[in-house]
Structure formats: C-alpha cells, structure tokens
Amino acid sequence: MDLKLSGKRVLVTGGNSGLGAAMVRAFAAEKARVAINYVVHPELTEQLVGQMRAGGSDVLALDADVTQADAVRAMFQTLDGAWGGVDVLVNNAGIDGPRAMAWETDALVWNRVLQINLTGAFLCAREALKRMVAQRSGVIINTSSVHELIAWSGYSAYTASKAGLSMLSKTLAQEAGVYGVRVLCIAPGAIRTPINADVWRDAAGQQDLISKIAIGRVGEPEDVAGMAVVLASEVAGYVTGTSVFIDGGMTDYPAFSHGG
C-alpha cells in the first residue's frame, strides 16, 4: 500500500535513539524528508544521518533541547528555511527518571520529567500547530505510554506526564481538527530500547516483563515505528484525539489469564 508520505516533512524529537531512531528510519523508508532532533550524543546522530543519506534519504539533524522555548522556536525556523515548514511532528523525546517513591522524590526530578515529557511536547506542538493550522493540514503524534493508563509505582512523574500527554493530545485535536490537523498518541508497552535496558538485559527482569505482555514477547522499536508511519498517513485520516496502544496486550492485563 502506498502511504503517500513521499516528500512529507517529518520532525522526530529525540530521534537519535530507540523508538525515535526507528521512526526516523521508517519515515525515510516511505521517502519522507526527516528531521532528527537531538540534544545529546551527536555522534549517534551523525551515524544515523550518514546511514540515511547513503540510502538516498533527505535528512536533517537539528540540535535542540525540547524544554527550551527559544531553542524549539529556532528549530522550527530552521525547518521553515530548509523545507518551508512541517507536515508531521512526532513528539518522542522522553525520560522516565530515577525510580523513587513520591515521598522520596526531589521536586527538581519531578519537574525535569514533566518538562521534557509534557512541556517539551507542548512547546513543539505549539510551533508545529502555528504552521499546520495555517496550511490546513498536518499530523502530530505524541508518544505517551501504557503508563498513561497503568499506574507504575516509583514513577509518579512519568505516569503523570504520560497521562497529561493523553489529555493534551485530545485537547489539541479538538482545537485543530477543523483546520485539517490530527493529533493523537501512540502508547507503547515494553519496547527494547536504552530507556529500559537495565530491565530487559537482566534475565529475571525480562521474564517479569514478558509475564506482563499477552503475546509473550518484549516489543521491538520497529513494532512501534510501523504503526507511527501508518497513523501519520491518510490511511488513518479519520483517527484523531485518541491513543493507539502498541503494547502486545499489556493493557489486556495477562496476569488475569489465571486466577482472579
């Protein structure tokens, strides 16, 4: 199926690692133009850009901390200069923060997680929407998590940020829908990336993860990237203001396949 993403201008935040890098590759495979936002590991970004260009893709690397409004504004202005705007924004940048009970959590840590995961997504969405509303088209995909729904002890800032992203997406979808702009969340389950490497690299940790997944395997970044590409395309032209769970059935609560 031709997803008709050829030539589309796509920006992926945190695009040099894990899910972001997989989405960069997946959009480029559909012949979209892809801008890779990053804030650390320029060497990983250069490597990815090199691979993409060698494959004939039109890619840009854009250094910006998504929590900084000025840096985000400048990043979109660079995109305006290079490609005349943006068609698809994937807000992917995120951290989970150190595991700690709320009563042991420093407010600075809480704020940092909220700033990156929620405020960063808002700042990027705001710049994207200025352009998308004016051009009467565009798609914003926010990366929430199964933890927009499932509580996660030790990660109150993370779960709050992801639940916040869900409602931010619904509200932006309501605001921008009549202007031809769709806004939605992808909500991944446990996907093998650096963010949870300490869990899946450990045999007991991996087994525990698998016991929480109905189809019995940890996800791969490509499981998420393929769905993101479809959701950004006109195939999903009637999908907005919702979260699409890509979780192998984690939200099907497989612990209830026994007992209860």
Closest C-alpha to 93, from 151, 37, 156, 25 = 37
Q: Give me the catalytic one of 38, 155, 158, 179.
A: 158
> What minimum distance in Å lies between the beta carbon of 28 and ligand BGC?
24
Q: Is residue 116 within the footprint of ligand NAI (CB under 6 A)?
A: yes
Using the rule CB under 6 A, which residue among 10, 12, 16, 125 binds ligand NAI? 16
Binding range to ligand NAI, per CB under 6 A, among 24-32, 50-58, 61-69, 202-210: 61-69
Strand order in the sheet with 181-188: 59-63, 33-38, 9-12, 88-91, 138-143, 181-188, 243-246
Tell me if 14 contacts ligand NAI by CB under 6 A.
yes
> What is the rounded CA–CA span in Å between residue 102 and residue 114?
14
CA distance 141 to 226: 13
Helix 18-29 / helix 221-232 crossing angle, nearest 10 deg: 50
Contact partner, 19, from ligand NAI, ligand BGC, none, Cβ < 5-8 Å per class = ligand NAI
Nearest to 242 by CA among 161, 142, 93, 175: 142
Contact pick of 5, 8, 17, 209 for ligand NAI (by CB under 6 A) = 17
Helix (H/G/I), strand (E/B), else coil: 122: helix
User: Residue 102: how many CA atoms within 13 Å on its side-chain side?
Assistant: 8
Check if the beta carbon of residue 89 is closer than 8 Å to that of residue 172. Answer: no
Nearer to ligand NAI, 66 or 184 (CB): 66
Contacts of 231 (CB under 8 A, 6+ apart): 139, 141, 184, 186, 239, 244
Q: Where do contacts with ligand BGC occur on this chain (CB under 6 A)?
A: 96, 145-147, 189-190, 195-196, 199
Q: Looking at beta carbons only, is 84 or 253 nearer to ligand NAI?
A: 253
Which CB, 137 or 242, lies closer to ligand NAI? 242
CB of 256 to ligand BGC, least distance (A): 17
Nearer of residues 135 and 196 to ligand BGC, judged by Cβ = 196
Q: Which residue has the tokens 């090199």?
A: 50
CB 185 within 8 A of CB 144: yes
Among 24, 90, 125, 191, the residue binding ligand NAI under the rule CB under 6 A is 191
Contact 113, 161 (CB under 8 A): yes
The single residue among 36, 79, 93, 132 that binds ligand NAI, judged by CB under 6 A, is 93
Question: Is 179 assigned a catalytic role?
Answer: no
Other CB atoms within 10 Å distance of the CB of residue 240 = 20
Work out how close the CB of 4 gets to ligand NAI at its nearest, in angstroms, rounded to a whole number.
Answer: 26
Nearer to ligand BGC (CB atom), residue 29 or residue 109: 109
Question: Given the rule CB under 6 A, which residues bind ligand NAI?
Answer: 13-14, 16-20, 37-40, 65-67, 92-95, 116, 120, 143, 145, 188, 190-191, 193-196
Catalytically active residues, by annotation: 158
